[in-house]
Structure 1
């Protein structure tokens, strides 16, 4: 039975007891007197309080005490004593047991509603999915339900329609509103070869696209799954709370017994009076607020991050982000756009480009793509390369027209000499933040190709904001040191670690961790080990599947300012958690002495019913405080967009 149904049942059955409690001085009693109260209280204890008792018993069998232990013992004590008192013609406290259960359930009903509100991001995401698609079948366009679409289908999307699933445009162009998934408010222009995201809205043109992802593999489904997992995950700080609860609950049980004994033995109270103080202590001390302090804040924090286009996979990543001291960036595709272009060709352009393109035509590296694009634009033909061989960390070599050709970075100069003029030109290009590719044929360097990848517009702003937060910024790249330092100077990065082999990135991250927790931001396959090694791995949404899988945080919009947003949200979330824990502890610290009757001589006491109400209000205040995360300003100049 749900909290709501248990509460409704308990409220209806307890109402007569509540009425009698207020009207008894005026001579009103429910039919049947004590036996009538017994029947009503028994119904509440069996139906509504039963789960508390079962939970407490299960914890006891595992040698633990949980929050339900205090509720179960407190209400059961009042109920069982009332049976004893009724049989011995003494005052009964059935209303205390029934009303405490009702008030505790009231608090839990509100908690559930607020959690449901915090979890609305996932439901809104799911509602975005298209229901059908116009698919090309047997030469005709037919409208089909989404579950009948298969991989490789070609789908037509008209203006105002939703993109059904993920794919790549094969014909036409348009502008798309991707804000519901990426958080980016500006429409994005798309043409042939560009990827489209399922559930985004087509604005202007009509286009055809080929399906490449379905079901759980689509970006929207992955976002939903990540948000779900994050909202149900646990942060390390919760382990501390669990340890405190395991000590706190037994301490409260002992305190309640001592309270009973002191009032009964030393102050001459009746068993019933002493029992009231004991039960009040048990109820007021129930650390429900303590238990929900962390999960509610995590739920709201991860839900809000999804709206911003920042996917935080779990509580561990969110907590770790709060402690970061150094942020390490990959260069290509992370700080830079990731679409380099050839700017200069030194040597005979046709020969240099033709040799380089012949070796690079099978490569997927961004630099290779730039060379191929320039060669194609010049109308050059590519020779067939044989005996292809990769030179780790340096480049590639192969036989072209019977001669040994090679293409690579300046580490190749360890094996090949560079003339004085080419060496001078190479240094000049590198100081202009251009990556230089060395091209050789027949064991001779025949030319240089300069390639430049411009920094993203958001890079400089993001680095500046990170510095304002007192964080150290580092660029970790396999590129040449001169090029890396030139880019770093443009965007304002503190330190540069260049000429790093792909397999060594993780080792450099480990070395940086000696100075404090490290966040690594990257997008490539070679970044996966570093993303996993870092305290927080932040993957760019445009990166490879391996990189995205390795990161604890994914930036859907590929905007580096979202690194700042993620760290700021982590800080605000854990500030709320600490605030929640503080108030939960203060509430118990102040409430227990009052409930125990320490201030009874001053007329300040707490009945079990009021203790139950206070406990419910305490839990509600914690949830409400967590929900305020949705209103907290994250950064001074960041623009928030709603993605759901």
Structure 2
């Protein structure tokens, strides 16, 4: 591992911490507040993921942050960081490089890198152990609680020893099974704070200690109507059991929300067949090694049915790759020498030899995982409101419970009844559902999006999708394929079209121009044999010439020829036309065009149906833009052509100035400024890294319907969050007055509170079944 120094750094840094000991929204809010009080620190703590993402600048070290969390009463462990740790032991704690940890300058003191998959391991192990502990406590509590309830409530069992039997059975429930609540309450109380566990612990202990005092003084009543003071052992035991079962179900359910990310990380190959050269014989052989031993520049073999081990470029072989696992694209993608391939995709047919270009944390799959984790760690404005409410809620409830106890005692003169009502207030008020409402929905929604090739960068994006009313679409590479395709061949006289295409492709084979590549690709797709050429010469800005047998053949602009027959002069197809001819006469006209994606019209109809205004924006000329707009159903009045990159930015700003909330969809460097300016930037997966960096949502599919899916999924996730928060707030608002009025028994209150949290998590899990429309 790399040794670190304790020198101050002024550059901005970021670290992900695994937090242990959190049980409710008050816990996460409290840690946020403590970290936020440090100079230059911005922290986001997520209850559902049990992670904190901390960004800061200044002389602080990661150890300072860890110590702050620990002093607050919680455990902390580094998951990934781009900042140095204090060298207190001579060795740095593990982390990952800036490429994994996110934005921030590289440092020579950065802790040693390891695969991104390890980042989830500590939290995963903690979650499993916590689940098992809660399950064990819940089972023991349930076994002991049943006879306590029977003894307390079943007529005929009101024997003299009943209170003592209840004491014996309830004591392990209160002292051992409920220990997580007591421990959390004590830790926060030691720091002068309170959480939802404070309410639970006080409620359970109040019922138990009151009953213990009654039994020890010999004043316990036997049966429901016996003389003496009633004991509340069954209340303490039942509330503990209900809450433990609820916490266990929460832990199980929230762990399921992480499955999408874990499955995403598991998509990669585990080992790979690397081509190595025998130093003695010079012969090549395959050597299967673990994928983490793969290095940039290595060549590896992918057989049919195997996963591509890492990002790379095909050196040899042709095949079709199933990219659905990574991009959500349903159609296999053909690859040939020179094609770029993505790790995690599946080879369907031929044998491929691939040269590695990116490994480990730099791969596309690792990048997807980082984006998803960042989104899951962020918070929407609605969640920040919930955190603020939960931070002040517990002290208010404690005060309300104390007033309720005093009021009922004075009004009824019955301290037992007053205590029962006060306990109900404490238990029913626990807003655990409030703390789970947003993070669980966000976890499931972003995880489902990642499986479909939709990367949502943060929770704020969900709010933006709800407000969007205008969508600006870049033409090239977004509505169209972005690649030139031969769309028409027109010949003069009796020259067959295939013969004209053969001759044009033979000449163009020596050129790298996009038009030349389109003509050559068309000839190859029709399996045409190309004649041999000699004396190739490129004519910059005009075309190319080459000799086929004894004839000099020209391909290019019309003014290369002395004569252009009337039937070739004005091709009917839209696009870029080149002419083929010899001996000074044009013999054929070949038109290539950037073709509209077959799915674009359907996607734009879906956006229209959602009430969104669609604009088409392009740097192309008017005629090409209007043709594309007509094909996909965008009105002429919403087409803007001949625009430069700065014009795209200005158009988005102008729409915003007119009160529109704009989503910009693009894929190129020239779209980056507009993507950043837009209220919601959506980058197509076929585009550039610059566009992806500027966008709020990145689509790994190149088809426009992915935009519709992204908008729909974002809105469905936000709708789920609002449903969860509505239930959580509504539940507490309605239940607390009932508890104060004495309508709710403490046992019913405990069951209702546990059910509330489970209901919120279960509602979030419905997003796992979300599917794109149509």
Q: TM-score, normalised by structure 2?
A: 0.65
Which residue pairs with 1:12 in the alignment?
A: 140
Worse overlay, 542-551 or 583-592 = 583-592
- Give per-residue Cα distances to partners, 1:492-519, cap 9 Å, x unaligned: 2241233322234333222222323221
Task: Say if 2:174 and 2:205, in contact at 8 Å, map to a contact too.
Answer: no
Residues 350-387 of structure 1, C-alpha deviations (whole Å, 9 max, x = no match): xxx9xxx9xx97xxxxxx6446776999985348x9xx
1:338 aligns to what SS in structure 2?
A: strand
1:105 alignment partner, one of 244, 268, 276: 244
Q: Which residue is equivalent to 2:665? A: 521
- Structure 1 residue aligned with 2:270: 131
The match for 1:572 is 716
Q: Distance in 2 between matches of 1:66 and 1:533?
A: 41
**Cα distance in 2 for residues equivalent to 1:436 and 1:47:** 76
2:595 aligns to what SS in structure 1? coil
How far residue 232 of structure 1 moved from its aligned partner, in angstroms, is 3.1
Which of 135, 140, 150 in structure 2 is aligned with 1:22?
150
Structure 1's 99 and 196: CA in aligned 2 closer, same or farther, altered over 3 A? Answer: same
Selected match of 2:341 from 182, 192, 196: 196
- Partner residue of 1:205? 350
Structure-1 residue corresponding to 2:204: 75
Q: Given that residues 433 and 756 in structure 2 are in contact (C-alpha distance below 8 angstroms), is that contact kept between their aligned partners in structure 1?
A: yes
Distance 1:246 1:207 in 2: 57
Count, aligned residues:
557
d(CA) in 2 for partners of 1:283, 1:111:
17
Name the SS of the counterpart of 1:102 in structure 2: helix
Corresponding position: 1:224 with 2:369: yes
Cα distance in 1, alignment partners of residues 629 and 180 from structure 2: 66
Alpha carbons 2:167, 2:212 under 8 Å: kept: no
**What is the aligned partner in structure 2 of residue 441 from structure 1?**
none
* Mapping of residues 278-317 of structure 1, within 5 Å: 278-317=422-461
Find the aligned partners of 1:313 and 1:454 in 2 and give their Cα distance. Answer: 31
CA distance in 2, matches of 1:492, 1:36: 73
- SS for the counterpart of 1:340 is strand
**TM-score between both structures, scaled by the size of structure 1:** 0.77
Distance in 2 (CA, whole Å) between partners of 1:47 and 1:114 is: 19
Query: 2: distance between equivalents of 1:251 and 1:499?
Result: 62
Deviations 1:259-307 (A, max 9, x none): 222211112222x220110110111121112221222221221122222
Shift of 1:626: 1.7
Matches within 5 A, 1:342-491: 369-370=514-515, 380-382=536-538, 434=575, 452-491=593-632
Deviation for aligned residue 1:71:
2.4
Q: Out of 203-212 and 41-50, give the one that drifted further.
A: 41-50
Q: 1:67 to 1:634 in 2, by over 3 A?
A: farther
Matches within 5 A, 1:229-244: 229-244=374-389
Residue 404 of structure 2 corresponds to residue 255 of structure 1: no
For residue 121 of structure 1, the aligned residue among 249, 260, 263 is 260
Unpaired runs of at least 5, structure 2:
1-128, 220-228, 278-283, 490-503, 522-529, 542-569, 579-589
Secondary structure of the residue aligned to 1:26 is coil
Partners of 2:234 and 2:142 lie apart in 1 by: 7
Within 1, Cα distance between the matches of 2:722 and 2:306? Answer: 45
**Whole-Å separation in 2 of the counterparts to 1:229 and 1:496:** 36
Question: C-alpha distance in 2, partners of 1:627/1:113?
Answer: 11
The residue correspondences of 1:312-351 to structure 2 (distance < 5 A) are 312-340=456-484
Q: SS where residue 355 of structure 2 aligns?
A: strand
2:731 is matched with 587
Q: Which moved more, 1:531-540 or 1:250-259?
A: 250-259
Aligned position for 1:534: 678
C-alpha separation in 1, matches of 2:423 and 2:189: 16
Provide the secondary structure at the position in 1 that maps to 2:481. coil
Of the three residues 41, 44, 68, the one matched with 2:174 is 41
TM-superposed CA distance for 1:486, in Å, is 2.8
The worse-fitting range, judged by mean Cα deviation, of 481-490 and 129-138 is: 481-490
Contact 1:463 1:491 in 2 (8 A): yes
CA distance in 1, matches of 2:195, 2:390: 7
Stretch of structure 1 that moved more, 614-623 or 126-135: 126-135
- Output the CA distance in 2 between the equivalents of 1:68 and 1:506: 51
Match in the other structure for 1:511: 654
765, 770, 773: which one aligns with 1:627 = 765
Q: Which structure is higher in RCO with an 8 Å CA cutoff and minimum separation 6?
A: 1
502-511 or 281-290: which moved more? 502-511
Match of 1:174 in 2: 319
2:471 alignment partner, SS class: strand
The SS at the match of 2:683 is: strand
Deviates more, 1:279-288 or 1:510-519: 510-519
CA shift for structure 1 position 591: 2.3
User: Structure 2: how far apart are the matches of 1:146 and 1:103?
Assistant: 46
200 and 375 in structure 1: CA distance in 2 versus 1, 3 angstrom threshold: closer
Q: Distance in 2 between matches of 1:375 and 1:450?
A: 13
Q: Is the 8 A contact 2:317 2:352 kept in 1?
A: yes
Tell me the equivalent position of 2:95.
none
1:454 alignment partner, SS class? strand
Q: Deviations over 1:605-642 (max 9, x none)?
A: 4322221111111111122222222335542x2xxxxx
Structure 1 counterpart SS, 2:269: coil
Q: What residue number does 2:4 align with?
A: none
Partners of 1:571 and 1:473 in 2: CA distance: 18
Between the aligned partners of 1:56 and 1:239, the Cα distance in structure 2 is: 24
Q: SS of the counterpart of 1:615?
A: helix
Structure that is richer in helix per residue: 1
Change (3 A) 1:3 1:159: closer
Counterpart Cα distance in 1 of 2:342 and 2:266? 15
Name the residue aligned to 1:498. 641
Report the Cα distance in structure 1 between the residues aligned to 2:705 and 2:287, rounded to whole angstroms: 43
More moved, 163-172 vs 224-233: 224-233
